[in-house]
Amino acid sequence: MKKMTAMVHDIILQKKHYHHSVDFTMGNGNDTLLLAQISDRVDAFDIQKEAMQRTRQRLRAYDNVTYHLLSHAYASEVIRENIDLAVFNFGFLPGGKEELTTQLSSSAVAVHTACACLNYGGCLLLTLYPGHVQGKEEADYFDAWASGLPADQYHVMKLCMVNKENSPYILWIEKRKKASFADANK
Ligand SMILES: C[S@@+](CC[C@H](N)C(=O)[O-])C[C@H]1O[C@@H](n2cnc3c(N)ncnc32)[C@H](O)[C@@H]1O
Protein backbone atom coordinates (compact mmCIF):
# COMPACT_ATOMS: atom_id res chain seq x y z
CA MET A 1 0.00 0.00 0.00
CA LYS A 2 1.21 3.50 -0.75
CA LYS A 3 2.32 5.94 1.97
CA MET A 4 -0.15 8.67 2.92
CA THR A 5 2.11 11.29 1.32
CA ALA A 6 1.89 9.42 -2.01
CA MET A 7 -1.88 9.07 -1.62
CA VAL A 8 -2.12 12.84 -1.20
CA HIS A 9 -0.36 13.21 -4.57
CA ASP A 10 -2.80 10.74 -6.15
CA ILE A 11 -5.71 12.81 -4.83
CA ILE A 12 -4.15 16.04 -6.10
CA LEU A 13 -3.62 14.51 -9.55
CA GLN A 14 -7.30 13.69 -9.91
CA LYS A 15 -7.40 17.18 -11.42
CA LYS A 16 -4.89 18.01 -14.12
CA HIS A 17 -4.57 21.69 -13.39
CA TYR A 18 -5.07 24.24 -10.60
CA HIS A 19 -4.92 27.99 -10.76
CA HIS A 20 -3.71 28.91 -7.26
CA SER A 21 -2.26 26.28 -4.91
CA VAL A 22 -0.75 26.74 -1.46
CA ASP A 23 1.69 24.48 0.35
CA PHE A 24 1.30 25.47 3.99
CA THR A 25 4.19 23.24 5.17
CA MET A 26 7.00 23.29 2.60
CA GLY A 27 9.48 20.96 4.36
CA ASN A 28 11.68 19.22 1.79
CA GLY A 29 9.54 20.52 -1.05
CA ASN A 30 8.02 17.24 -2.25
CA ASP A 31 4.52 18.70 -2.25
CA THR A 32 5.62 22.14 -3.46
CA LEU A 33 7.28 20.53 -6.49
CA LEU A 34 4.10 18.73 -7.51
CA LEU A 35 2.02 21.87 -7.00
CA ALA A 36 4.46 23.92 -9.12
CA GLN A 37 4.16 21.38 -11.94
CA ILE A 38 0.38 21.56 -12.17
CA SER A 39 -0.55 25.07 -10.98
CA ASP A 40 -0.41 28.54 -12.49
CA ARG A 41 0.91 29.89 -9.20
CA VAL A 42 1.91 28.55 -5.81
CA ASP A 43 2.47 30.11 -2.39
CA ALA A 44 4.63 28.03 -0.04
CA PHE A 45 5.24 28.51 3.69
CA ASP A 46 7.71 27.22 6.26
CA ILE A 47 9.27 28.60 9.43
CA GLN A 48 12.63 26.91 8.75
CA LYS A 49 15.16 28.69 6.56
CA GLU A 50 16.74 25.34 5.61
CA ALA A 51 13.38 24.04 4.36
CA MET A 52 12.84 27.12 2.21
CA GLN A 53 16.39 27.07 0.81
CA ARG A 54 16.21 23.36 0.01
CA THR A 55 12.84 23.72 -1.69
CA ARG A 56 13.90 26.81 -3.63
CA GLN A 57 17.02 25.00 -4.87
CA ARG A 58 14.99 21.95 -5.85
CA LEU A 59 12.46 24.05 -7.73
CA ARG A 60 14.93 26.39 -9.42
CA ALA A 61 13.42 25.55 -12.84
CA TYR A 62 10.02 26.94 -11.74
CA ASP A 63 9.19 30.63 -11.62
CA ASN A 64 5.59 30.30 -10.44
CA VAL A 65 6.32 29.81 -6.71
CA THR A 66 6.34 32.52 -4.03
CA TYR A 67 8.29 31.41 -0.96
CA HIS A 68 7.32 32.66 2.49
CA LEU A 69 9.70 32.17 5.42
CA LEU A 70 6.76 32.75 7.71
CA SER A 71 4.39 30.84 9.95
CA HIS A 72 1.32 29.75 8.03
CA ALA A 73 -0.68 31.42 10.81
CA TYR A 74 0.05 34.69 8.96
CA ALA A 75 -1.05 33.41 5.55
CA SER A 76 -4.02 35.80 5.47
CA GLU A 77 -1.54 38.72 5.44
CA VAL A 78 0.27 37.56 2.29
CA ILE A 79 -2.20 35.53 0.25
CA ARG A 80 -3.83 37.85 -2.27
CA GLU A 81 -6.06 35.45 -4.16
CA ASN A 82 -8.58 32.70 -3.46
CA ILE A 83 -7.24 29.15 -3.28
CA ASP A 84 -8.02 26.09 -5.41
CA LEU A 85 -5.81 23.65 -3.52
CA ALA A 86 -4.35 23.85 0.00
CA VAL A 87 -1.93 21.20 1.26
CA PHE A 88 -0.96 20.72 4.90
CA ASN A 89 1.49 17.99 5.85
CA PHE A 90 1.68 18.51 9.61
CA GLY A 91 4.42 17.38 11.99
CA PHE A 92 8.17 17.86 11.71
CA LEU A 93 10.72 17.41 8.95
CA PRO A 94 11.89 13.81 8.77
CA GLY A 95 15.47 13.90 10.08
CA GLY A 96 14.97 17.49 11.29
CA LYS A 97 14.35 19.11 14.67
CA GLU A 98 11.30 17.53 16.27
CA GLU A 99 10.71 20.64 18.41
CA LEU A 100 9.93 22.51 15.17
CA THR A 101 6.80 20.45 14.68
CA THR A 102 3.56 22.16 13.73
CA GLN A 103 1.45 23.32 16.69
CA LEU A 104 -2.33 23.32 16.95
CA SER A 105 -2.54 27.05 17.83
CA SER A 106 -1.00 28.15 14.51
CA SER A 107 -2.22 25.15 12.46
CA ALA A 108 -5.84 25.95 13.35
CA VAL A 109 -5.49 29.59 12.28
CA ALA A 110 -3.91 28.51 8.97
CA VAL A 111 -6.53 25.87 8.16
CA HIS A 112 -9.35 28.31 8.93
CA THR A 113 -7.70 30.89 6.64
CA ALA A 114 -7.35 28.30 3.86
CA CYS A 115 -10.95 27.21 4.23
CA ALA A 116 -12.22 30.81 4.19
CA CYS A 117 -10.24 31.50 0.96
CA LEU A 118 -11.21 28.27 -0.82
CA ASN A 119 -12.87 28.58 -4.21
CA TYR A 120 -15.94 26.51 -5.01
CA GLY A 121 -14.69 23.09 -6.14
CA GLY A 122 -11.38 23.69 -4.34
CA CYS A 123 -9.91 21.32 -1.78
CA LEU A 124 -7.93 21.15 1.43
CA LEU A 125 -5.74 18.15 2.16
CA LEU A 126 -4.56 17.65 5.73
CA THR A 127 -2.12 14.86 6.60
CA LEU A 128 -2.22 14.27 10.34
CA TYR A 129 0.13 12.36 12.64
CA PRO A 130 -1.62 11.36 15.87
CA GLY A 131 1.39 9.26 17.00
CA HIS A 132 3.01 12.17 18.89
CA VAL A 133 1.61 14.66 21.41
CA GLN A 134 1.22 17.77 19.22
CA GLY A 135 0.05 15.63 16.32
CA LYS A 136 -2.66 14.06 18.46
CA GLU A 137 -3.91 17.51 19.49
CA GLU A 138 -4.09 18.55 15.85
CA ALA A 139 -5.77 15.29 14.81
CA ASP A 140 -8.45 15.53 17.52
CA TYR A 141 -9.16 19.17 16.72
CA PHE A 142 -9.35 18.78 12.93
CA ASP A 143 -11.43 15.59 13.15
CA ALA A 144 -14.03 17.44 15.22
CA TRP A 145 -13.89 20.55 13.03
CA ALA A 146 -14.15 18.64 9.73
CA SER A 147 -16.98 16.44 11.05
CA GLY A 148 -18.96 19.60 11.79
CA LEU A 149 -18.67 21.13 8.31
CA PRO A 150 -22.10 21.34 6.67
CA ALA A 151 -22.54 18.43 4.24
CA ASP A 152 -24.46 20.56 1.75
CA GLN A 153 -21.39 22.77 1.35
CA TYR A 154 -18.42 20.44 1.86
CA HIS A 155 -17.55 16.85 1.05
CA VAL A 156 -15.25 15.50 3.77
CA MET A 157 -13.43 12.18 3.55
CA LYS A 158 -11.07 10.56 6.04
CA LEU A 159 -8.50 8.06 4.72
CA CYS A 160 -7.00 6.03 7.53
CA MET A 161 -5.68 2.57 8.38
CA VAL A 162 -8.41 1.09 10.54
CA ASN A 163 -6.19 -1.70 11.93
CA LYS A 164 -3.23 0.43 13.07
CA GLU A 165 -3.77 2.78 15.96
CA ASN A 166 -2.32 6.28 15.70
CA SER A 167 -1.05 5.86 12.15
CA PRO A 168 -0.97 8.95 9.89
CA TYR A 169 -4.13 9.74 7.99
CA ILE A 170 -5.63 12.20 5.53
CA LEU A 171 -8.58 14.54 5.84
CA TRP A 172 -9.75 15.48 2.35
CA ILE A 173 -12.14 18.43 2.31
CA GLU A 174 -13.75 19.65 -0.90
CA LYS A 175 -15.85 22.79 -1.08
CA ARG A 176 -18.77 21.79 -3.24
CA LYS A 177 -19.44 23.66 -6.45
CA LYS A 178 -21.95 26.48 -6.21
CA ALA A 179 -24.41 24.55 -8.37
CA SER A 180 -24.31 21.66 -5.86
CA PHE A 181 -25.22 24.11 -3.07
CA ALA A 182 -28.29 25.14 -5.07
CA ASP A 183 -29.22 21.52 -5.86
CA ALA A 184 -28.94 20.54 -2.21
CA ASN A 185 -31.24 23.39 -1.21
CA LYS A 186 -33.99 22.63 -3.76
C1 LIG B 1 6.18 17.06 7.69
S2 LIG B 1 7.07 18.49 7.23
C3 LIG B 1 6.38 18.89 5.64
C4 LIG B 1 6.88 18.01 4.53
C5 LIG B 1 6.70 18.64 3.17
N6 LIG B 1 5.32 18.89 2.83
C7 LIG B 1 7.41 17.91 2.04
O8 LIG B 1 6.78 17.65 1.01
O9 LIG B 1 8.59 17.62 2.20
C10 LIG B 1 6.33 19.78 8.24
C11 LIG B 1 6.95 21.13 8.01
O12 LIG B 1 6.12 22.10 8.68
C13 LIG B 1 6.95 23.16 9.06
N14 LIG B 1 6.26 24.02 10.05
C15 LIG B 1 6.18 23.86 11.39
N16 LIG B 1 5.45 24.87 11.93
C17 LIG B 1 5.08 25.69 10.90
C18 LIG B 1 4.34 26.89 10.81
N19 LIG B 1 3.80 27.47 11.90
N20 LIG B 1 4.16 27.46 9.60
C21 LIG B 1 4.70 26.88 8.47
N22 LIG B 1 5.41 25.73 8.50
C23 LIG B 1 5.61 25.14 9.69
C24 LIG B 1 8.19 22.46 9.59
O25 LIG B 1 9.28 23.36 9.63
C26 LIG B 1 8.36 21.31 8.59
O27 LIG B 1 9.25 21.68 7.56
Res 179: pLDDT: 63
Residue 122 Cα to ligand 1 midpoint, Å, equals 22
CA distance 28 to 8: 15
Q: CB neighbours of 133 closer than 8 A, spacing ≥ 6? A: none
pTM for this entry = 0.95
Q: Which of 35, 52, 77, 102 to mutate to test the pocket of ligand 1 (most atoms within 8 A of CB)?
A: 102
Q: Which of 5, 12, 25, 85 to mutate to test the pocket of ligand 1 (most atoms within 8 A of CB)?
A: 25
CA distance 134 to 26: 18
Res 180: pLDDT: 58
Which residue ranges form the domains of the chain, and what is each CATH number?
4-184 (3.40.50.150)
Answer whether 65's CB lies under 8 Å from 32's CB. yes
Which residues is 156 bridged to in the sheet?
173
Res 95: pLDDT: 80
Q: Give pLDDT < 70 ranges for the chain.
A: 179-186
The atom of ligand 1 lying closest to the CA of 45 is: 21
